[in-house]
Structure 1
Amino acid sequence: MTVDGTAPPRPVLRRFMLVAVWLPVALVALAVAVQLLLLPQLPATIAVHWNASGEADRFAPAWTQPIATVAFGLGVPLLIALTSLPGLRRGDRGATYRLMGATAAGMSALVTVALTWTLAMQAGLDSSADAPAVWPALVASLVAAAVVGVAAWVIQPREESADAATPPATPLALSTHEQALWMRTTSIARGAAIAIFAGVLVIVLSAVVAAVTGADPLLVWLLVGIAVLLLALAATTLAFHVRVDDSGLHVDSVLGIPRFHVPLGDIESAAGVDVNPMGEFGGWGLRLSTGRRFGVVLRAGEAIEVLRRSGKRFVVTVDDAGTGAALLEALVTRAATRP
């Protein structure tokens, strides 16, 4: 969240770029160079997937491994960086951005070590069916991800969020007995909704494929359960009704649950703010963040932020948030002046 519109100190942005962009670029470049050197020593088809017993069960042309390394080892970190950079350049700060940078670096290390190790261990084999167990590569990639992720966290400077400095909204003018009501409906961004349902669809298709191919029934039911859970979570968090009245702030899912209510007597102040979902909350939906913040974060942009008397903050992204916050601030002020 921007407080004064100033840009972040140069070391913050520079070190974020170092760990989230340039380090993954270097890791992927090194990994792809090693893989290309190994290609002549590999069978034409290599193992690319192992079952729960550690045995190879899926195969692909060897030349696809460098492509996969670039796609996942660099693509995922760049996606994280691109969603975080706008907020950093705008002046946002806090532990969430630091975590995003560390996650980008760790993901790149995980992918590059795993794909390079599994390729290297098949060098000199006559057939990919003879590929050894994947466990050493898996352990090595997890260790590399942890080490690189921690190092990336340490490299970045500690920047506290300036959430506490958010000024309250200017209250609307209300007479002593005047009744006022403000209502809006907010829904998740179209791109995020498509991504959510695409994820659910992938799980459903995986369950169908597992059932058709005779997979373990336990695996099939596990996939079905995950799909139902994700579908329920998506359906209940796609859209919310937001209401401000003399009882406080109400945020209710259009399906009835979940429901959130911040009573007027529990509100210290209310403000209209701008929210960057990825940078401040690490994503969309019902989210926790630093600074004791909880949010119904459905998209970027306008939001009402309520400071509770306990010091906790409740955030909901919604259009015309400034008006809603101003009315809420007016109701709080009027309630405080009543005998």
Structure 2
Amino acid sequence: MTRPDPAVRRFVLVAIWLPVVLVAAGVIVQLVALPQLPSTIAVHWNAAGEADGFAPAWTQPLMTVLFGLGLPLLMALTSLAGLRRGDRGPTYRLMGASAAAVSALVTVALTGTLVMQAGLDDASQAPTVWVPLVASLLAGAVVGVSAWFLQPRTESVDAATRPATPLALAPNERVLWMRTISMSTGAAVAIVAAVLLVAVGAVVAWVTGSEPAVAWLLTAVALILVFFAATTLAFHVRVDDTGLHVDSVLGIPRFRVPLADVESAARVTVNPMGEFGGWGVRIAPSGRRFGIVLRTGEALEATRRNGRRFVVTVDDAGTAAALLEALVQRAGARP
């Protein structure tokens, strides 16, 4: 029986087992403190650190489990499949460290704010939140940094690619290749869900009379997310005698690789998380690859004269690469 790769084992340790231990310890402390608490406790504080929101005491352990364990597990499970498949890169290491940090921050914050109210007769007497808030930030930072160094260093490799075999073209033959690409269903759902979550938060902030600055901030973030979602969910890809063109279906953004700037073209297989840190318009950690990465799988990669690579995930990428190679050769654009 083969043992799991060290990168997978360490990731599972920091992103799953460490949050389980942290949350279990926090919930035990909270359950022990419950008999000493008023039935209603403070759960929200204003900018001055004064309690202004209240809830039943039993909700605090529940929130600790939901957010202190639920969020890290969500982060871990979205990355674990790629790691087990053999994908590598600093993004996975960062996700593991972030999962551990979120768990520590949430657990310390919720446990601290609950325990400090033990012995009170009325939740309105709750102390200011600054001590548990600072403690939770420090805990998140320490646990996150420790989790980063507990995981082995791995790098995504920008492997050299072999140029595609050029298509046979007559001297005056006009050829055009076009495809439309769209975000994978899972990534699109995640983006839309994030937009809706922020939009709902903005609506709630306006309806409940929250501070105008908070309401306007949430509104601005929601509008920015709507713009980026609308302009990056689908693109038109075209190869013709002027080069490679990738345009959002809404017209912006637009990307060009002129024929004279193409050193080579190839069909490659792309893993968004491991190679680019996610989906969308991305720059690889190496800084040498820029991509329109909407899904896992085949992609067209055009290497520029300066060595930088432009990648776009698209069906029939092999044909596109072969055509681009043929057009460059016919135009005499390659020295």
TM-score, normalization: structure 2?
0.89
Q: Structure 2 matches for 1:205-284, cutoff 5 A?
A: 205-284=200-279
Within the candidate set 107, 110, 116, 1:112 is matched to 107
d(CA) in 2 for partners of 1:135, 1:327: 62
Within the candidate set 293, 298, 304, 1:297 is matched to 293
AA partner of residue 254 (structure 2): R
Structure 1 range deviating more: 99-108 or 184-193: 184-193
d(CA) in 1 for partners of 2:257, 2:298: 19
Find out whether 1:201 has 2:196 as its counterpart: yes
The equivalent residue for 2:87 is 92
Q: CA deviation at 1:208?
A: 3.3
The equivalent residue for 1:126 is 121
Please tell me whether the aligned partners of residues 75 and 95 of structure 2 are also in contact (alpha carbons under 8 angstroms).
yes
The equivalent residue for 1:328 is 324
Within the candidate set 14, 21, 25, 2:16 is matched to 21
Q: CA deviation at 1:252?
A: 0.5
Q: Structure 2 unaligned segments of length 5 or more: list them.
A: none
Q: Secondary structure at the match of 2:180?
A: strand
d(CA) in 2 for partners of 1:171, 1:112: 58
Aligned residues: 333
Q: CA deviation at 1:295?
A: 2.1
Q: CA deviation at 1:241?
A: 0.7
Distance verdict in 2 for CA 1:219–1:325, change over 3 Å:
same
d(CA) in 2 for partners of 1:234, 1:203: 13
Identity within the alignment, %: 71
AA partner of residue 195 (structure 1): A
d(CA) in 2 for partners of 1:140, 1:134: 10
Q: CA deviation at 1:175?
A: 4.1
Q: Structure 2 matches for 1:129-148, cutoff 5 A?
A: 129-148=124-143
The equivalent residue for 1:150 is 145
Q: CA deviation at 1:184?
A: 0.9
AA partner of residue 72 (structure 1): F
Q: CA deviation at 1:337?
A: 7.6
User: Considering only aligned residues, what root-mean-square deviation do their CA atoms show, in Å?
Assistant: 2.5
The equivalent residue for 1:59 is 54
AA partner of residue 39 (structure 1): L
d(CA) in 2 for partners of 1:167, 1:91: 22
Q: Secondary structure at the match of 1:122?
A: coil
Q: CA deviation at 1:287?
A: 2.1
- String of CA shifts for 1:167-212, please: whole Å, max 9, x gaps: 4444434344433221111122334334333333333333333333
d(CA) in 2 for partners of 1:338, 1:116: 65
AA partner of residue 185 (structure 1): T
d(CA) in 2 for partners of 1:124, 1:225: 42
Please tell me whether the aligned partners of residues 83 and 279 of structure 1 are also in contact (alpha carbons under 8 angstroms).
no
Within the candidate set 298, 305, 308, 1:312 is matched to 308
The equivalent residue for 1:103 is 98
Find out whether 1:179 has 2:174 as its counterpart: yes
Find out whether 1:189 has 2:178 as its counterpart: no
d(CA) in 2 for partners of 1:167, 1:26: 48
d(CA) in 2 for partners of 1:250, 1:40: 66
Q: Secondary structure at the match of 1:184?
A: strand
Distance verdict in 2 for CA 1:36–1:190, change over 3 Å:
same
Distance verdict in 2 for CA 1:255–1:31, change over 3 Å:
same
- String of CA shifts for 1:272-324, please: whole Å, max 9, x gaps: 33333334333322222212232222233332233333232322222223332
Q: Secondary structure at the match of 1:278?
A: helix
d(CA) in 2 for partners of 1:213, 1:104: 31
Distance verdict in 2 for CA 1:123–1:237, change over 3 Å:
same
AA partner of residue 88 (structure 2): R
The equivalent residue for 1:82 is 77
Structure 1 range deviating more: 149-158 or 278-287: 278-287
Q: Secondary structure at the match of 2:159?
A: helix
Q: Secondary structure at the match of 2:44?
A: strand
AA partner of residue 307 (structure 2): G
d(CA) in 2 for partners of 1:229, 1:84: 26
Distance verdict in 2 for CA 1:11–1:251, change over 3 Å:
same
Distance verdict in 2 for CA 1:87–1:234, change over 3 Å:
same
Distance verdict in 2 for CA 1:280–1:57, change over 3 Å:
farther
